[in-house]
């Protein structure tokens, strides 16, 4: 056996989960929670990625990730299917694997996600496209669950009322779901990245509606000194061109200078405004005394509100990019 063949075999064995997995920070070690299911290394890491980022994947995606042959991937998927961790369905002629084991989601602390449920073809393709982008950019600081998205933005002082939300009506009343489409979001101390996946049936209206649902959140992030980047993901050239044009218009519209505050400034102003408002309502006599009485409180409150009302730019985002999936090219609803 040649040195090249031996290296390839070693790499395949390692990537199939028989060696130590490479750490992906945003998974936060959740792959170790799948050891009771017999999943370790790259196998465990893949299932965690798929479970948290849409719940579906294709054999081609898995094959490229593992660097393994399609035949070996087929055997692996069959083994997962026999253990009822995964079920395989056909969507528009494409074999799609869906992570379906409730216990697996429970072990990941994500039992509340809706990925296990059978859904429409268009939603499946949208999830596949967005997942394809995530596995091509695994080092971005993704926020894979609703809880993590809401928690990280609240930590910046951004209220839930500024986040996209949908209310689901049921027998037990309404359930509020934030970031209901589950599209990928990444966040660090400098920028926030929002991904929009177009499965091929959307129009320009859908992209603008997505922007409108996120507009207030984006404005709050920019006011707080963070850069907002939108990414358009698609499998077809027409959708790529459309995303490039629309996102480019959103970026280029930002011709007016905007105030750039140090990170945390706006969040601190919101907290201070809330503190002063509570003092004025008679809930904190110490703050009233500290600020020199009621008039001092009012002056402080006006200062904070002026900061929060700083002129906003005409543009919506600071940067944009588009990405076409080669593995899902031509897959349409």
Give pLDDT, residue 75: 96
Give pLDDT, residue 172: 60
Considering the entire predicted model, what is its pTM? 0.77
What is the largest distance, in Å, between two alpha-carbon atoms of the chain?
85
Give pLDDT, residue 331: 66
Give pLDDT, residue 153: 96
The hierarchical CATH code for the domain 3-118 is 1.10.10.10
pLDDT by residue, tens only, the chain of 333 residues: 344 443 444 454 444 444 445 568 999 999 999 999 999 999 999 999 999 999 999 999 999 999 999 999 999 999 999 999 999 998 878 899 999 998 999 999 887 777 767 678 888 999 999 999 999 999 999 999 999 999 999 999 899 999 999 887 765 666 888 998 889 999 999 999 999 999 887 778 889 899 999 999 999 999 888 999 999 999 999 999 999 999 998 986 544 445 556 666 767 777 788 888 888 877 778 888 888 888 888 888 888 877 766 544 445 799 999 999 999 876 655
Name the residue ranges covered by the structural domains of the chain.
3-118, 146-259+312-324, 265-308
Give pLDDT, residue 12: 45
Q: Which tokens in the block code for residue 49? A: 């990625």
CA distance 221 to 314: 15
Give pLDDT, residue 277: 83
Q: Which of 53, 28, 211, 188 is nearest to 132 (CA)?
A: 53
Q: Residues 85, 97: contact at Cβ < 8 Å?
A: no
């Amino acid at each position: 056996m040649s040195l090249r063949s031996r290296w390839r075999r070693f790499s395949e064995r390692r990537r199939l989960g028989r060696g130590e997995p490479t750490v992906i920070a945003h998974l936060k070690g959740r792959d170790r929670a799948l050891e009771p299911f017999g999943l370790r290394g790259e196998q465990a890491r893949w299932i965690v990625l798929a479970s948290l980022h849409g719940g579906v994947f294709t054999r081609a995606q898995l094959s490229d990730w593992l660097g393994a042959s399609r035949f070996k991937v087929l055997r692996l998927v069959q083994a997962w299917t026999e253990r009822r961790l995964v079920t395989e369905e056909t969507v528009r002629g494409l074999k799609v694997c869906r992570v379906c084991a409730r216990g697996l989601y429970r072990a990941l602390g994500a039992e509340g996600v809706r990925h296990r449920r059978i859904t429409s073809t268009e939603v499946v393709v949208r999830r596949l496209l967005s997942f394809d982008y995530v596995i091509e950019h695994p080092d971005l600081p993704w926020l894979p669950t609703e809880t993590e998205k809401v928690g990280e933005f609240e930590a910046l002082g951004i209220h839930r009322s500024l986040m996209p939300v949908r209310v689901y009506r049921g027998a037990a009343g309404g359930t509020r779901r934030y970031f209901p489409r589950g599209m990928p979001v990444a966040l660090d101390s400098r920028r926030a990245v929002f991904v929009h996946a177009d499965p091929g049936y959307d129009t320009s209206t859908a992209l603008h509606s997505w922007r409108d649902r996120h507009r207030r959140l984006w404005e709050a992030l920019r006011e707080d000194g963070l850069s907002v980047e939108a990414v358009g993901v698609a499998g077809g050239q027409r959708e790529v061109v459309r995303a490039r044009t629309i996102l480019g218009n959103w970026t280029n519209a930002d011709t007016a200078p905007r105030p750039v505050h140090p990170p945390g400034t706006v969040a601190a102003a919101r907290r201070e405004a809330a503190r002063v408002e509570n003092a004025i309502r008679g809930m904190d006599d110490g703050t009233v005394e500290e600020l020199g009485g009621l008039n001092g409180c009012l002056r402080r409150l006006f200062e904070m509100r002026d900061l929060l009302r700083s002129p906003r730019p005409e543009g919506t985002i600071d940067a944009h990019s588009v990405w076409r999936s080669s593995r899902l090219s031509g897959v349409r609803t």
